[in-house]
Amino acid sequence: MFKDKFTSIKEGYTFDDVLLLPARTSVEPKEVEIFSKVSRNINVRVPIVSSPMDTVTEAEMAIAIARYGGIGVVHRNMTVNEQARIIVKVKRSESTIIRNVLTISPETSLTEVRNIMKAKNVSGFPVVSGEKLVGILTKRDLEFAGKSSKFVNEVMVKDVVSAPDNINIEEAREILYRNRIEKLPLVDKGNRVVGLITAKDIVTREKFPDATRDSKGQLMVGAAVGPFDIERAQAMEKMGADLLVVDTAHAHNENVLNSLKKMRKEISIDIVAGNIATSRAAEDLISTGVDGLRVGIGPGSICTTRIIAGIGVPQLTAISDVAEAAMKEDIPVIADGGIRYSGDIVKALAAGASSVMLGSLLAGTEESPGVEMIINGRKYKSYRGMGSIGAIQTGISDRYGKIGANKFVAEGVEGAVPYRGKVDEVIFQLMGGLKSGMGYVGAKTVQDLREKGEFVKITSSGLRESHPHDIRIMMEPPNYQIYQT
């Protein structure tokens, strides 16, 4: 019985165990297309998802990742209201047409207007009286308001330029330019405000052509929820989240599976569930109606699950096993954890993933919420696992179990990662490496890479040979950091 456990033992592979074989190709890196799927109904131009960790993804990261073609998943290690505010902030950061327009009345005090502007982070309002548009007030009007002015009707622009609700963006652009205005209220036949187009949103949309946007022109964003927190899931959907990521260390659990079935009945947006690492787990989760799978148990740089619990599957093997099962139902797979270089992304996609979830590679960027620090003269940012003592002790995250009222078994550590600059440069380098790898393989699309990629197993000597060797690196390139955790 016990001997049998080892006679047919399976061998598992991770990123450093293999390389992809180069092939005869006519594909140039600049020609490849890297658009892919995150879930059944969410497409991305860049196959990157930012991890729902409290040192990785809040509003600033989610906005940046979406603008550059991926999608961010806001962590849940906070109250429902705090998470909801972040979701709303991301959704309001861009919009082709703003539908939930904040308005003020002519009798509103200027003091109150300034407070609303600060609280809501807006720079102007249509002014309505009895639901009808009578003026517009911007921050510029406030700046030039005299000291004696106390109410909106004293400083607002009364000759308002407006447009019908069915106007297209090109027509709106022309009106904004011709009249040298920044905001264009949209009105119905009764002169009631039904929308707002801003010059800033039009310019931003053109600046980020690859952004992941919904049908309203708003950036798309995901929200992490606990497997049993249906109320949080409903709140996130109500606040505008485009994707829910059911966030648990072990999703192949009877209680989780039963809860997913209930959640599926209550939620209409896409649900990604994880984490898992086997084909059987994939089949069971797919049967609950989920729209995507998150793969990875223990591969992350700050995760200690494999050491503390003795559990896990080397990441490339986990990806391929799950993808094999998911492919039958056309369910996308997100490879979560273990990725240190752009070449690892190429390998993950070739193994069957549709996208990758990044933690440590994004934690060091300017947009992450981690704390900045200087260590030995070099800039770092804090980074911790959601199974670390610090994360668990907040009392909100239940991703990892608690044993007893006040006792914890940590499955993660807290540390720091080198500062990497702005997230757009990190994504540029990672996607440049991905495109290069696809060129070597002869894959013009991510689907081609999944189908054509062939692996070769390497030895420890082969790994050593793969990295720079027999040289002292004097200048560190942006896509290969000398510092290793």
Residue 344 φ/ψ region, left for φ over 0, alpha for ψ in the -120 to 50 degree band, beta for the rest: alpha
Contacts of 381 (CB under 8 A, 6+ apart): 55, 363, 364, 365, 368, 370, 371, 372, 373, 416, 417, 419
Which two three-digit tokens encode residue 129? 């009286």
303 is catalytic: yes
Which residue carries 């485009």 as its tokens?
242
Distance, in Å, from the CA atom of 99 to the CA atom of 447, rounded to the nearest integer, reads 37
450 is catalytic: no
Distance, in Å, from the CA atom of 334 to the CA atom of 440, rounded to the nearest integer, reads 23
**Amino acid in the structure at residue 26:** S
Q: Which of 92, 213, 384, 399 is catalytic?
A: 399
Q: Which of 92, 213, 303, 420 is catalytic?
A: 303
Distance, in Å, from the CA atom of 404 to the CA atom of 408, rounded to the nearest integer, reads 8
Distance, in Å, from the CA atom of 229 to the CA atom of 218, rounded to the nearest integer, reads 26
End-to-end Cα distance, the chain = 40
DSSP string, 110-165: HHHHHHHHHHHT-SEEEEEETTEEEEEEEHHHHHT--TT--BHHHHSB-S---EET
Residues marked as catalytic? 303, 399
